[in-house]
């Protein structure tokens, strides 16, 4: 099953300096071409404020305070504000939970991950109608609070807009040399009410359940009644209809979304968020060309807005994955960036481009990592504290057969941010890659060493973060790999106690139970996981994975019809998993010999998944199905029988290949090619006595048949008939004097 993740690589150029001697000349050349000086602006991000009273009806204030403060900070020319949408996208791309945004203890780690040097966090407390807001700023590198940034404001809840303005003014003064000052504005009661309604709706919309969307709509409509021309509220309504349209594939909802966003942009063309939402809508409507044109227009209004470019790249990726199960290629991406006039040397864009190149290379047998290496280092120059880039470099070093450098990079990534809850998870994946490398190289001592280190890292992470289910699942993987099955199941028990809704618990448990030949129990585990998914919208994307696992188990139990229903359901309901569903359906129908149906499945697979089209295994299987289908039409075709025999031989289906060669010879007993193929099969299978007469007959019917003569000579040698072997090799050399194998064989006979 193909699962695609765009991994964030934004880290330090200086971290790589100890490894400069290992850079190839092409890498150095590309690096020299791509290095530029980046902005010296201080990068900063604002997290949602914590609700100290924990009342759910007040949660919207945390979002409101963060977005308001980020907007105020963005006015300061010396600051580069990392938008909340960028942070959310990075977490999504790394497959990390969005709950990280609400965990203030992880602010330094999150800051390193997104490339921020400062993080602003705070809290608020509502008591009656009074609201107290506190904020502070931390230095990401040290994790220390900057004393001058600790601020507090207090007032009436109804005056939240004024309180936000006062908070921003105080924080801006903490920046040395800042002379920026926004004019004092007194906000009306109506404006405060509209603001409250909008952010309450936005908070519910982000929860994205059906009930929350309905409640959000009521709040947006009430806000619109009070402020009919408010572009932000109109954008909220557009987002609501977009969410509904995407979820239900309802074109009318998408049209409604387009109506609201057009109205919003008419009222306020300076609202960046509205442009982004409109791009989203066009992508959802499969109008990529119009989306690109709109983005160009937006960049004319907001020159150099990196968030616009990155959001569009992300959207193009998601749309492409849904349609073809792949990201857009790096060549497509470069062309896109050029057409958009994007600043390709901006670190975030350099990163995005570098990762596209890197992931394309991972699909190649002999990749050249020069360009990817250079682009990632370029991004790292501007963002020096991100621990992810060494972990990505470790992947490259493993592919380049440099395991020691890979190990150093993994340890480097862990050392940059030892308290991160995410980096050990990524390092665990790297350790697995390194373990696989040593297994291929048959180095058991190194395998054991990597196993031990991986286990140490995940155990330490569990000590720090015992309530994260994924950590316990990774521990179970390590223990199971080390043969400690019962301990692995116990780790999964703990994961289930911590977060029973986490689907990976059940897929991992099913794998262990399957190895124990407890197939029924494995299916029961998957059913528990599917039941939890039914109760929550958070893990709906995991449903097809559990369905696949269940289908495969049903196949192993001989319950093929039940498996078929699962595979067909995945094909029908989950476009992003369609290629995997097709592979499963191909597996099912192969045994039924429905070759025409199989050909249709293969052709669709090759159309939506270019990687499978290049895959030698799929090509061989497709050719076999095509030949079998043609033989149904012309069962007495010697050419088809011979070709199918050769394909089967390549698939190591010896008996089946032999059967087709013999059938062909029954139709044409003197066909030299079939005689040669069957004779060579017997020779390869250690039966030179059966091979010899067939090869002699092939040579008789096709004089100067070089391949038949050489294999006949090998047959004579295997039968200890050296004189005949010498004679046939000499005869072969009279036809082809430079035949290296025959020359070597003849030399060994003297």
Give the whole-number percent of the chain exceeding pLDDT 70: 87
Look at residue 346 and tell me whether its pLDDT is greater than 90.
no
134, β-bridge pairs: 123, 152
3-state secondary structure of 132: strand
Give per-residue pLDDT as tens, 171-208: 888 775 555 555 555 678 888 899 889 999 998 888 77
Most confident among 184-198, 342-356, 376-390, 662-676 (mean pLDDT): 662-676
d(CA 525, CA 225): 50
Structure tokens given for 43: 């990068």
Provide the pLDDT for residue 287. 87
Give per-residue pLDDT as tens, 314-331: 666 655 555 444 556 777
Provide the pLDDT for residue 274. 94
d(CA 321, CA 305): 25
Quick one: average pLDDT of 355-361?
78
Region(s) of the chain under CATH 3.40.50.10610 = 39-178
Provide the pLDDT for residue 419. 83
Look at residue 19 and tell me whether its pLDDT is greater than 60.
no
Region(s) of the chain under CATH 1.25.40.10 = 628-749
Provide the pLDDT for residue 489. 97
Give per-residue pLDDT as tens, 529-566: 999 998 876 688 889 999 999 999 999 999 999 999 99
Look at residue 363 and tell me whether its pLDDT is greater than 80.
no
Provide the pLDDT for residue 181. 53
CA torsion angle 711 712 718 722 (round to 10): -130
d(CA 581, CA 548): 8
Place of tokens 């004092």: 184
Look at residue 385 and tell me whether its pLDDT is greater than 90.
no
Our measurement of the distance from residue 279's CA atom to the centroid of its chain's CA atoms, rounded to an integer in Å, reads 22
Question: Which one-letter DSSP state was computed for residue 145?
Answer: B
Provide the pLDDT for residue 317. 60
d(CA 363, CA 368): 11
Look at residue 11 and tell me whether its pLDDT is greater than 50.
no
Provide the pLDDT for residue 324. 47
Match domain 39-178 to its CATH number in 3.10.440.10, 3.40.50.300, 3.20.20.410, 3.40.50.10610: 3.40.50.10610
Average pLDDT of the chain, as a whole number: 84
- Find the helix packing angle between 706-718 and 672-684, rounded to 10°: 30
Q: Identify the CA nearest to 138 among candidates 186, 106, 172.
A: 106
Quick one: average pLDDT of 326-337?
72
pLDDT confidence tier of residue 220, bands split at 50, 70 and 90: very high
Give per-residue pLDDT as tens, 270-305: 998 999 999 989 988 888 889 888 988 888 888 767
Tell me the H-state helices in 100-208: 107-114, 160-173, 189-207
Q: Identify the CA nearest to 11 among candidates 355, 307, 308.
A: 355
3-state secondary structure of 524: helix
Provide the pLDDT for residue 13. 24
Instruction: Considering only residues 623 and 334, tell me which one the structure prediction assigns the higher pLDDT.
Output: 623
Our measurement of the distance from residue 450's CA atom to the centroid of its chain's CA atoms, rounded to an integer in Å, reads 24
d(CA 557, CA 617): 25
d(CA 102, CA 115): 18
What is the CB-side half-sphere exposure of residue 56 using CA atoms within 13 A?
Answer: 3
Structure tokens given for 442: 């048959």
* Burial status of residue 613 (CB atoms within 10 A of its CB: 0-12, 13-18, 19 or more): middle
pLDDT-wise least confident of 142-146, 375-379, 451-455, 685-689 = 375-379
Instruction: Considering only residues 700 and 348, tell me which one the structure prediction assigns the higher pLDDT.
Output: 700
Report the Cα–Cα distance between both ends of the chain, in Å, rounded.
Answer: 55
d(CA 596, CA 627): 11
Q: Classify domain 628-749 at the CATH class level.
A: mainly alpha
143 neighbors 117 (Cβ within 8 angstroms): no
294 neighbors 303 (Cβ within 8 angstroms): no
Provide the pLDDT for residue 575. 83
3-state secondary structure of 81: strand
Provide the pLDDT for residue 667. 96
Provide the pLDDT for residue 305. 76
Place of tokens 């949660």: 59
Q: Identify the CA nearest to 267 among candidates 301, 211, 227.
A: 227
């Amino acid at each position: 099953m193909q699962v695609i993740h765009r991994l964030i690589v934004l880290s330090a150029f200086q971290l790589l300096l100890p490894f400069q001697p290992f850079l190839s000349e092409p890498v150095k050349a590309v690096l020299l071409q791509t290095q530029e000086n980046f902005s010296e602006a201080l990068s900063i991000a604002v997290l949602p404020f914590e609700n100290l009273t924990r009342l759910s009806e007040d949660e919207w204030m945390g979002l409101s305070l963060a977005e308001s403060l980020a907007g105020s900070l963005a006015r300061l020319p010396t600051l580069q504000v990392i938008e909340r949408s960028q942070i959310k996208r990075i977490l999504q791309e790394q497959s990390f939970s969005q709950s990280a945004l609400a965990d203030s203890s992880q602010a330094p780690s999150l800051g390193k991950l997104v490339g921020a040097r400062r993080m602003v966090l705070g809290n608020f407390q509502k008591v009656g109608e009074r609201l107290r807001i506190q904020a502070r700023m931390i230095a990401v590198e040290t994790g220390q609070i900057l004393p001058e940034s600790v601020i507090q404001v207090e007032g009436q809840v109804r005056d939240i807009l004024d309180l936000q303005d006062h908070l921003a003014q105080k924080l801006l003064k903490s920046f040395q040399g800042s002379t920026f000052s926004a004019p004092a504005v007194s906000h009306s009661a109506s404006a405060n009410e509209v603001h409250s309604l909008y952010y309450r709706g936005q908070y519910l919309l982000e929860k994205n359940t059906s009930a929350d969307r309905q409640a959000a709509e009521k709040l947006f409509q009430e806000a619109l009644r009070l402020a009919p021309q408010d572009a932000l509220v109109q954008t909220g309504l557009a987002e609501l209809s977009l969410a509904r349209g995407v979820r239900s594939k309802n074109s009318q909802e998408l049209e409604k979304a387009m109506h609201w966003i057009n109205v919003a942009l008419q009222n306020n063309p300076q609202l960046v968020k509205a442009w982004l939402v409109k791009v989203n809508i066009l992508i959802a409507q499969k109008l990529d060309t119009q989306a690109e044109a709109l983005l160009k227009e937006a960049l004319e209004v907001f020159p150099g807005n990196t968030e616009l470019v990155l959001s569009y790249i992300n959207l193009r990726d998601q749309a492409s994955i849904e349609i073809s199960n792949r990201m857009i290629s790096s060549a497509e991406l470069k062309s896109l960036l050029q057409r958009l006039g994007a600043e390709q040397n901006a670190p975030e864009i350099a990163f995005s481009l570098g990762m596209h190149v890197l992931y394309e290379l991972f699909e190649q047998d002999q990749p050249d990592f020069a360009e990817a290496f250079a682009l990632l280092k370029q991004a790292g120059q501007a963002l020096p504290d991100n621990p992810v880039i060494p972990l990505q470099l470790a992947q490259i070093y493993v592919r380049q057969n440099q395991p020691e450098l890979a190990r150093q990079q993994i340890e480097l990534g862990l050392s940059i941010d030892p308290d991160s809850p995410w980096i050990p998870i990524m390092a665990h994946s790297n350790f697995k890659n390194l373990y696989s490398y040593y297994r291929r190289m048959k180095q058991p001592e190194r395998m054991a060493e990597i196993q031990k280190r991986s286990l140490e890292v995940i155990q330490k992470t569990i000590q720090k973060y015992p309530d994260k289910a994924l950590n316990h699942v990774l521990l179970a993987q390590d223990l199971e790999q080390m043969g400690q099955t019962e301990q692995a199941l116990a780790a999964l028990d703990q994961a289930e106690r911590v977060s029973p809704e986490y689907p990976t618990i059940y897929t991992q448990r099913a794998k262990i139970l399957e190895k124990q030949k407890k197939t029924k129990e494995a299916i029961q585990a998957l059913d528990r996981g599917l039941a939890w998914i039914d109760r929550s919208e958070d893990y709906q994307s995991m449903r097809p994975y559990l369905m696949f696992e269940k289908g495969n188990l049903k196949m192993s139990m001989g319950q093929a019809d039940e498996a078929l229903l699962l595979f067909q359901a995945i094909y029908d309901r989950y476009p992003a998993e369609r290629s995997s569903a097709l592979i499963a359906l191909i597996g099912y129908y192969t045994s039924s010999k429905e070759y025409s149906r199989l050909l249709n499945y293969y052709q669709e697979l090759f159309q939506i998944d270019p990687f499978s089209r290049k895959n030698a295994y799929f090509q061989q299987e497709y050719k076999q199905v095509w030949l079998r289908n043609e033989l149904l039409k012309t069962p007495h075709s010697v050419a088809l029988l011979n070709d199918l025999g050769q394909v089967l031989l390549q698939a190591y289906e010896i008996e089946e290949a032999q059967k087709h060669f013999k059938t062909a010879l029954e139709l044409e007993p003197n066909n030299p090619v079939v005689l040669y193929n069957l004779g060579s099969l017997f020779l390869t299978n250690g039966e030179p006595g059966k091979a010899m007469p067939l090869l002699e007959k092939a040579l008789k019917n096709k004089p100067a048949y070089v391949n038949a003569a050489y294999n006949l000579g090998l047959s004579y040698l295997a039968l200890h008939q050296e004189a005949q072997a010498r004679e046939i090799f000499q005869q072969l050399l009279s036809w082809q004097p430079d035949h290296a194998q025959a020359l070597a064989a003849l030399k060994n006979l003297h």
